[in-house]
Chain A
């Protein structure tokens, strides 16, 4: 069974039915392990949502495979989507010594994997666990990810606080943390990527930092990167050099790196100067950062310094038909509507239509570029019915569905290009809160804009460098 990759963070296996000594042997094959290794995720989980029966043999066999992946990939492994009875069964099987993690739901797992995007003010996470050590561990992990843990000590208090669920971004109960990967936590807030640092920073920061995730963020146009250093005691020259290199590398994309909350008294002045020379800005706290004029001017992704390479290369344009075919093929499949091309020009991006929504995905490898799909909200609703089951009007649902749609398009493009001997990797999709944000991201770029119509709906495909 192939894993499904959720937000490029979690590789999820979702078996149905029985998970015993016999079936577990066929669930994750060598090929499936190979696919999982290639995903570069930070968690590998098995969903128990549709498992009605499991026993110790089945779990032990799966655990052998997951442990191998954990050692090779340095990921968190475990199970999710279970009920209370199943949760207790895990403890009974292993007599309390659980060498993996348990997450009540996939959303809870995503919280620990750093895949939940959040808005300002949505930071409280309610935590309850019978075991006080687990309560503390979970609170620390949650805190490290930039959330505010609200820990309750008793079941009664927990039940009372659950009633106030609206005030919590997530509720963590019946959850157990085993070995957790040591990657630096990251999450996005609007157009900013926030990394959470802690402790003494030395050369190991290079291993803990997810460079691929960072590069992907740059490729899809994120330009604001904030390193929350409020829990950093100090740093050495290796860590300072790392940030300096990161900032220099990001300059090509016009990225701004800021370090927030670093204790300046404990940080050697020479390091601060070196970092400032590399373009890094320091802020005392998060509020200062978000209210800063320069930061606000970059909020939409626009910047004075754009990626140097602002024109498409010949090899990318040569593959345009494949990219368009993959896009149109996917949309036709999803909507059962026929696409008709209206115009096609090399031009700066120009929005067409009203109530538009957009999402981009960048690709890199043999060829580099970014594909952005722009369509009216109504077409997003129609296109995503196959994914979400019914036409929804909820902003969050539609944004997520559009990201998934762009992911499918990128996956199809990747396969079709592979057939032509062109290998690419794709980034996480980025959806735009407003078309102004998209304009800001594509500002100053010359790309190929193809306008289509799906019945009466305008649809724009934009290929940019």
Chain B
């Protein structure tokens, strides 16, 4: 059919012209995250460095001085520990410089918690792609999460070994950022339509959830199974009973969202990282309010 008017410029007897403007197979259009891409990302997460493994080993054996010695072999680790323990969050009266001083002041479980926090910190991006975060802001979030978790563990007389769960939990944000950094605009459009959290989007496109990915990373870092289970439950996706592990998971879930409700994290877009489960957290809300001091 002969076209008239403005169409005259566009009409051709064959598809050659149109092929130029819309190619047969669209190239350069990314699909959403695939399980293969996630697998590649997990492969890139480094295992525990030798010095850190040795330090954890000595802490496991209860040898604080040996652990301090092992940690001294890693200057970056020592720099991190000095910076954190001398921050206002830890509130030690004197500046702690010597590795032995630091490990003695922390004790075994708090030292382990900080070692894992260091691992998480070391895989945190300098420049975040999805969340509007800086490495420093993430550091503050992580320390605040760990310190409040410490208060909860002490108040509830939970197993001290649970301390490192908060440090591991914070890795979830890094994983989410790594996965969705290249899809920020697509995710924004999806969220506009469906009010979806990142975990739900991830599950729908790859059948994987952040708790599984964080669990994989924790395994790589040789975290104990019970802690991995605690972190997994704290994502609030599974049915949970009344035992201590579940109560701990409920408290950690609530604490995570307490921290994600702070203005800096809200503005960073981190509040929609995973879906908050009010029913899961409700049984421990009152106790949480007492411990953390919310009015």
Contact = CB atoms under 8 A, between A and B. Distances in A.
A306 B54 CA distance: 79
Interface string A311-324: 11110010011001
Contacts of B281: 52
B276 to A, nearest CB: 4
A421 interface: no
B94 interface: no
Given A17-B258, A17-B276, A336-B205, A4 B195 contact: yes
Interface of A: 1-2, 4-5, 12, 14-20, 22-23, 25-27, 29, 49-53, 55, 311-314, 317, 320-321, 324-325, 328-330, 332-334, 336, 338-341, 343-344, 346-347, 385-389, 404-405, 407-408, 411-412, 415, 446, 450
Interface string B198-219: 0011001100000000000000
B32 A336 contact: yes
Interface residues of B, number: 60
Given A1-B266, A408-B189, 7 more contacts: A12-B195, A16-B275, A25-B263, A26-B266, A317-B6, A341-B23, A347-B1
A387 B193 contact: yes
Given A16-B261, A55-B295, A340-B25, A408 B190 contact: yes
Contacts of B189: 330, 408, 411-412
Interface in B9-23: 9-11, 15, 18, 21-23
B192 A53 contact: no
A29 B194 CA distance: 22
B24 A50 contact: no
A386 B266 contact: no
Contact of B262 (A1, A22, A385, A386): A22
Most buried by B among A2, A341, A450: A341
A14 B195 contact: yes
A373 B193 CA distance: 17
A404 B276 contact: no
B106 interface: no
Nearest to B194: A387
Interface in B242-286: 254, 257-258, 260-267, 269, 271-272, 275-276, 278, 281-282, 285
B50 interface: no
A320 B289 contact: no
Given A18-B294, A26-B267, A50 B190 contact: no
B88 interface: no
B207 to A, nearest CB: 11
A18 B261 contact: yes
B22 A324 contact: yes
Q: Majority SS of interface residues in chain B?
A: helix
Contact of B272 (A16, A313, A340, A450): A16
A416 B191 CA distance: 18
Nearest to A1: B266
A341 B27 CA distance: 12
Nearest to B295: A55
Contacts of A336: 31-32, 34, 205
B6 A15 contact: no
B5 interface: yes
A22 B263 contact: yes
Nearest to A15: B271
Contacts of A405: 193
Nearest to B185: A415
B278 A18 contact: no
B137 interface: no
Contacts of B194: 387-388, 404
A36 to B, nearest CB: 13
A388 B190 CA distance: 11
B7 A386 contact: no
A320 B21 contact: yes
Contacts of B29: 325, 328-329, 332
Interface string B175-194: 00000000101101111111
B238 interface: no
A317 B18 CA distance: 11
A17 B25 CA distance: 45
A26 to B, nearest CB: 3
Contacts of B276: 16-17, 50, 52
A45 B9 CA distance: 49
B254 A52 contact: yes
B40 interface: no
A344 B264 CA distance: 49
Given A324-B22, A344-B22, A333 B261 contact: no
A313 B189 CA distance: 28
Nearest to B258: A18
A222 B15 CA distance: 34
A114 to B, nearest CB: 20
